[in-house]
Amino acid sequence: MRTRPRYIAALFTAVLLATTACEGGDSGSSGNSSNGGQYPRNETLYTSGSAWGPPTTWNPIVPGYATGTVGLVYEPLFIFNPEKLELEPWLAEKGEWSADNKTYTVTLRDGVKWSDDKPLTADDVKYTVELGKIKAVPYSNLWNWLASVEATDQRTVKFTFSDPRVQEWENWLYENAIVPKHIWESRSEADITTHKNEKPVGSGPYVYQAHAQDRMVWKKKDGWWAEKALNLKVAPTYVVDIVNSSNEVALGLLTSGRLDLSNNFLPGVANLLKGDFKVKTYYAEPPYMLSANTAMLIPNTTKAPMNDVAFRKALAESIEVKKIVEGVYGNIVKASNPTGLLPVYDQYVDQATVSSSGFTFDTNKAKATLAAAGYKDTNGDGKVEDKAGKPISLKLIVPSGWTDWMEAARVIAEGAQAAGLNIVAEFPDAAALDDARTAGKFDLLLNNWTGVSNTPWTYYNYLFQMPVQAQQFSANFSRYQNQAAWELVQKLSRTPSSDPAYKTTIAELQKIQLTEMPAIPLWYNGMWAQYTESAWTNWPSEAAGAPKDFPSTWNNMWELGSIKMLTQLKPVSSK
Amino acid sequence: MRRYFARKVAIYLLTFFVAVTLNWLIPRFMPGDPVLRMLTRTSVSNPDAIAPMREYYNNVFGLDVPLWRQYLNYWAELLQGNMGISVWLFPAPVTEVILDAVPYTLALLIPSILLSWYAGNKVGALAARRKWLDNTVLPLGYALTATPYMWIAIVLAWSLAIIAGVFPVAGGYSFDLQPSWSLVFFNSLIQHWFLPFLSLFLVAFGGWAIGMRNMIIYELEADYANYLEALGAPRRLIRRYAFRNALLPQLTGLALQLGVLVAGALVTEIVFGYPGLGRLILMAIQNQDFFLLQGAFLFIVIGVLIANFVIDIVYVLVDPRTRTGMTGGAA
């Protein structure tokens, strides 16, 4: 009895020593992970920044699928080229509008196969589109303006529209992936949106290899159609997407060379670039990142005083965006154009309107605007009261834990306070904020749900969508009602980009947006992308001769051309 | 003996019932609505689709019946091992998500709790009788036990993983491996496990060492120790009795500390990107995922109850007084 505790102690010590010895012995090789693993380092691309939870679904119909489900496995008919602002045929060989824009005919490529070797046919396309008749399918509103879809032969699909919304349709074409009918048709209506779809059968360059709580692994498949049709070959044999636990972990992985592409928001990345970490970004100089979406200050226009244009104008003039760009972000974002249109749409910005009705930061002007509209400081507390003389007290809410936005909100509140507007920043839980935004129970908030797309229509739809519902899920969080603007948005949707009316309609919408200010564009959030060249080179960059594809693994970026990044990468020759 | 255990089991069952009820109740008091989250995620733009989709998801999550019915359903499902569908990781069943994560959390918790308790008591007892050891262990112990779990985890990750590069930064096993029964894989598991384990071990270790040291000193000054000494008993014998007596409060402390350690494991897992329950719980809270949250807490409740029960049994074994008390009561 007396000896036993000691014996146990000795045993524990031995085990502990043995395990530590193990660490010491193997750590060298695993640090570089150049040997011993099942995925050879020079054939594997490690990515992160897209998945925030364990991969649990591979169903391309419902958002929330594992990184790359749409893009690497399932593919759309077209992809969008943000450099040229046009659709590029992908699964489709071509797509044509009829002369009266009432019908659209898609011709599929010859020889496209699913990963189970069955051919991809017009029937699959028809089936996918018709899934939209199920209300729970996210693109069900397609059928509000699409009349019918018809597979005229193996490779031809004809779409007939009751209301030909050209821009919205083209948006649909590249944002939604085609699924194989022969696998999906056996599923019930409820299954379509709740099925996990393990081991997905798709047409894309990768197939399922493995997944775990903290990773998703894709393996290249032989005979991807684009190898022959477009002479494109994806370089990495394996793509390992690491589930994020925090941005700090991603930073650690990146600087130690265990991660090739990080699409995480890494504050202070400018210092990394200067330091000896071999980290690269798209631009070598500020803003370092491409612009992905516009961060907007959303006023709730159903409440006073946000329902007053003059008030919104003064608010816009009180915000020092430069301070957010430099102080909060360290120059990794760009200040937004007053129109809020992303840099890819620069050609549509009406400079004349911007210079006449655009707003700039000017605290004194903001004060003057307020005074002219009848907002005066009657009780002498340094803050203006509303027109009836009652004190104004507003809250600007951003999700707790979004450190960059929290800082930005403080800057905005500071600027407003300086102009005499009593606005304070508050940081509720992200879910509570979602509820407030959806139900319209807020004063002011920040939102950036309008990103790069094929057309500024998505942006104006986001700003002006009507009718305003009790719950607003995806657009018009300001709850701003302007029938004329909404009609222009609908007109824009029906206008082909080649039509001269396209540009003039956008110009008219800009005028309304700048005079009415339903939302205040502040800065362009970056398409966060940091890469290292320890295993892969030829990353997208502004440099001459470098690929210009979007360097992102975020879901819905693949179809904006990120998939082509994988075909451009070159392995660093093995040592 | 039987009566003692019958009473204990009854108490544990009651605790379990109350815990599960609270577990069901608390998420429902959180602000937010899980179905709204689903609708936001699918960003419904079709106004006609909102009502049918809401109805559909309400049905999927079983939220379309009155609250009392939901509560009964919850028990009925629970007894069949079914904890519902996760909102955040829709459409994965909660049981599946949790079972994937539990082995990692257990692999961290069990060794760190047992080893830290064992090593802490040993070192604490040693410290009580060697001046030089006392002078080093005491400040070190205080520093360790006062360190937040997250902080020590960050320091370890930064120094040993990022700067020295001796250990991996994140993950459950190397990102270039697939699970298999191979030495390489096992090795990788251990490597990834070591730092999170070490940070949990160190913090808990400090607490136990200090506790034991103080208890021993207290016991050595107790009457029975003085009496033994006066009788001329060897120091060694006295210390052994002191150790045995000092161990009892430490054992009680272990039962009390379990919850704290579980909480510590959660933050540690987040720092090391370790695929256990920690991150799941955090994300479940942020995503109004009632069902995942219930499942994860249920696991913790069961774990803590079982551990306490085991400690109750151990108590009977190590403390003769409990045994005597019981036989006395029975007679």
A275–chain B Cβ distance below 8 A for any pair: no
> Does the pLDDT of residue A3 top 50, yes or no?
no
Q: How close is the nearest chain B Cα to the Cα of A194, in Å?
A: 6
C-alpha torsion sign, points B256, B258, B264, B266: negative
CB-closest option in A30, A144, A430 to B168: A30
Contact A493, A338 (CB under 8 A): no
For the ranges A31-35, A142-146, B276-280, which has the lowest average pLDDT?
Answer: A31-35
pLDDT, residue A379, reads: 84
The per-residue pLDDT of chain B, averaged, comes to 85
Instruction: Classify B255 as helix, strand or coil.
Output: helix
Q: What angle do CA A354, A356, A357 make, to 5 degrees?
A: 70
- Which pLDDT tens digit goes with each residue over A321-367? 999 999 999 899 999 999 999 999 999 999 999 999 889 999 999 99
Q: Mark yes or no for CB contact B89/A54 under 8 Å.
A: yes
Mean pLDDT on A145-154: 94
pLDDT digits (tens, 9 = 90+) for B286-321: 777 888 988 888 888 888 888 888 888 888 888 877
Full domain range(s) for residue B312: 94-322
Q: A329 and A319 in contact (C-beta within 8 Å)?
A: no
Query: Of B330, B294, B325, nearest to B29 (Cα)?
Result: B294
Q: In what order do the strands lie in the sheet with A44-48?
A: A206-212, A215-220, A238-242, A44-48, A261-262, A530-532, A279-280
Tell me the residue type at A382: G
The model's confidence at residue A574, banded by pLDDT at 50, 70 and 90, is: low
Q: Of A54, A141, A438, which has the smallest distance from its Cβ to B46's Cβ?
A: A141
Return the top range by mean pLDDT from A21-25, A330-334, A570-574. Answer: A330-334
Does residue B64 lie in a domain region? no
pLDDT tens profile A530-558: 999 989 999 999 999 999 999 999 988 99
How many CA atoms, within 13 angstroms, populate the side-chain half-sphere of residue A523? 29
At residue A14, does pLDDT exceed 60? no
Whether residue B157 and residue A252 make contact (CB cut-off 8 A), yes or no, is yes
Question: Which residue spans of chain A are classified as CATH 3.90.76.10?
Answer: 78-192
- What is residue B330's predicted lDDT score, i.e. its pLDDT? 44
In a domain, B232, yes or no: yes
Q: Which residues contact B313 (CB under 8 A, 6 or more apart)?
A: none
**Residue A274 pLDDT more than 90?**
no
Position B53 scores a pLDDT of 79
Check residue A10 and give its pLDDT.
52
Instruction: Give the Cα separation of B63 and B34 in Å (integer).
Output: 10
Interface test with A, best of B36, B42, B96 (most A CBs within 10 A): B42
Q: What is the DSSP letter of A304?
A: T
Find the closest chain B residue to A196 by CA distance.
Answer: B91
User: CA nearest B85 in A: which residue?
Assistant: A194
Which among A136, A429, A435 has the least Cβ separation from residue B36? A435
Task: Establish if B197 touches chain A: CB-CB under 8 angstroms.
Answer: no
Q: Where in chain A is the domain with CATH 3.10.105.10?
A: 291-526
Read off the amino acid at residue A558.
W
What pLDDT shows up at residue B326?
63
| Closest residue on chain B to A23 (Cα) | B191
Cβ contact A212–B179 (<8 Å): yes
Q: CB distance from A35 to chain B under 8 Å?
A: no
pLDDT of residue B328: 53
Instruction: Decide if A323 contacts A379 (C-beta within 8 A).
Output: no
What value, to the nearest 5°, has the Cα angle with vertex A363 and ends A359 and A366?
60
Question: d(Cα A162, Cα A31) in Å, to the nearest integer?
Answer: 60
Confidence of residue B55 (pLDDT cuts 50, 70, 90): confident
pLDDT at A147 over 60: yes
How many whole angstroms separate alpha carbon A242 and alpha carbon A46?
Answer: 7
Distance of CA A113 to the CA centre of its chain: 29
Amino acid at B67: L
* Chain A environment of B97 (Cβ under 8 Å): 54, 56
Distance CA A149, CA A158 (A): 6
Three-class SS state of A241: strand
Answer yes or no: is pLDDT of B160 > 60: yes
User: Quick one: average pLDDT of B159-179?
Assistant: 85
CA distance A291 to A490: 26
Q: How far is B15 from chain A (nearest CA, A)?
A: 31
For residue B251, being part of any structural domain is answered with yes
The closest CB to that of B42, out of A62, A465, A467, belongs to A62
Closest partner residue to B36 among A215, A240, A438, by Cβ? A438
Peptide bond into A338 cis (omega under 30): no
CB contacts < 8 A (A, B): 209
The DSSP letter of residue B224 is H
How much is the ipTM here?
0.83
Give the chain B residue whose CA is nearest to the CA of A2: B240
Q: What is the average pLDDT across B159-181?
A: 85
Spatial separation of the C-alpha atoms in residues B273 and B279, rounded to whole Å: 8
Contact of B237 with chain A, judged by CB distance below 8 Å, is answered with no
Fold of A4-56+204-289+527-574: D-Maltodextrin-Binding Protein; domain 2 (3.40.190)
Q: Dihedrals φ, ψ of B317, to 5°?
A: -70, -40
For residue B120, give the chain A residue with the closest CA. Answer: A9
What torsion do the CA atoms of A218, A220, A224, A228 make, to the nearest 10 degrees? 140
B234 burial type by CB count under 10 A (0-12 exposed, 13-18 middle, 19+ buried):
exposed
* A 169-198 near B (Cβ less than 8 A): 190, 194-196
DSSP code per residue over B175-201: TT----SSHHHHHHHHHHHHHHHHHHH
Domain contains B262: yes
pLDDT at A256: 82
List of chain B residues whose C-beta atoms are within 8 Å of the C-beta of residue A54: 89, 97, 100-101, 275
pLDDT of B126 reads: 86
Does residue B115 belong to the interface with chain A, where contact is any CB pair within 8 Å? yes
Nearest-CA distance A435 → chain B (Å): 6
Task: Say if CB B111 and CB B197 are below 8 A apart.
Answer: yes
Return the pLDDT at B46: 65
**pTM, whole model, 2 decimals?**
0.87
Concatenating the DSSP letter of every residue in A433-458 gives HHHHHHHT--SEEEE---B--S-THH
pLDDT at A27: 34
Enclosing H/E stretch for A252: helix A247-255
pLDDT reading at A33 higher than 50: no
Q: What CA–CA distance (Å, rounded) separates A215 from A47?
A: 10
As a whole-number percent, the residues of chain A with pLDDT over 90 amount to: 70
Half-sphere exposure of A274 (CA within 13 A, CB side): 6
Residue B61, in any domain of the structure? no
Residue from the list A136, A245, A258 with its beta carbon closest to the beta carbon of B53: A136
Lowest mean pLDDT among A291-305, A423-437, B18-32: B18-32
Q: What is the DSSP string of A492-557?
A: HHHS-TTSHHHHHHHHHHHHHHHHH-SSEEEEEEE---EEE-SSEE----SSTTS--S----STTT
> Which residues from B are below 8 Å from A63, CB to CB?
41-43
The answer to whether the beta carbons of residues A196 and A202 sit under 8 Å apart is: no
Angle in degrees, 0-180, between the axes of helices B131-146 and B94-127, rounded to the nearest 10: 150
Superfamily of domain A78-192: Dipeptide-binding Protein; Domain 1 (3.90.76.10)
Binary contact (B288, A9; C-beta < 8 A): no
Which residues on chain B are in Cβ contact (under 8 Å) with A12?
Answer: 115, 118-119
- The residues, any chain, with a CB within 8 Å of residue A153's CB and separated by 6 or more, are A122
Q: Tell me, yes or no, if B257 comes closer than 8 A to chain A by beta carbon.
A: no
User: Which chain B residues contact residue A432 at CB under 8 A?
Assistant: 31-32
B33 domain residue, yes or no: no
Q: Residue A277: which pLDDT band, with cuts at 50, 70 and 90?
A: confident
Chain B nearest CA to A216, separation (Å)? 10
Residue among A16, A467, A474 whose CB faces B43 most closely: A474
H or E element in which residue B221 lies: none
The per-residue pLDDT for range A436-489, each reduced to its tens digit, is 998 999 999 999 988 899 999 999 999 999 889 888 888 899 999 999 999 999
B20 belongs to a structural domain: no
Number of separate domains in chain B: 1
Q: Would you call B45 an interface residue with chain A, using a CB distance cutoff of 8 Å?
A: yes
Fold of the domain built from segment(s) A291-526: Dipeptide-binding Protein; domain 3 (3.10.105)
**How far is B12 from chain A, CA to nearest CA, in Å?**
31
Examine the pLDDT at B271 and tell me if it is beyond 60.
Answer: yes
Minimal C-alpha gap between B90 and chain A (Å): 7
Kindly state whether residue B72 falls inside one of the protein's structural domains: no
SS3 call for A238: strand
Chain centroid to Cα B145, Å, comes to 17
Residues of A in contact with B270 (CB under 8 A): 245-246
Question: Which residue do the tokens 């070797």 mark?
Answer: A117
Displacement of CA B329 from its chain's centroid (Å) = 34
Closest to B31 (Cβ–Cβ): which among A242, A253, A432?
Answer: A432
Residue whose pair of structure tokens reads 């936005």 in the numeric block: A405
pLDDT band of residue A203 (cuts 50, 70, 90) is very high
User: pLDDT value at position B44?
Assistant: 64
CA distance A140 to B43: 12
Contact B167 A135 (CB under 8 A): no
- DSSP-derived letter for residue A141 is G
pLDDT bracket for residue A140 (50, 70, 90):
confident
We report the CATH number of the domain holding residue B231 as 1.10.3720.10
Q: Which residues of A touch B41 (CB under 8 A)?
A: 63-64
What's the mean pLDDT when you consider all of chain A? 89
8 Å CB contact of B165 and A22: no
Residue B84, beta-bridge partner list: none
> In B6-124, at which residue ranges do the beta strands (DSSP E only) sit?
none
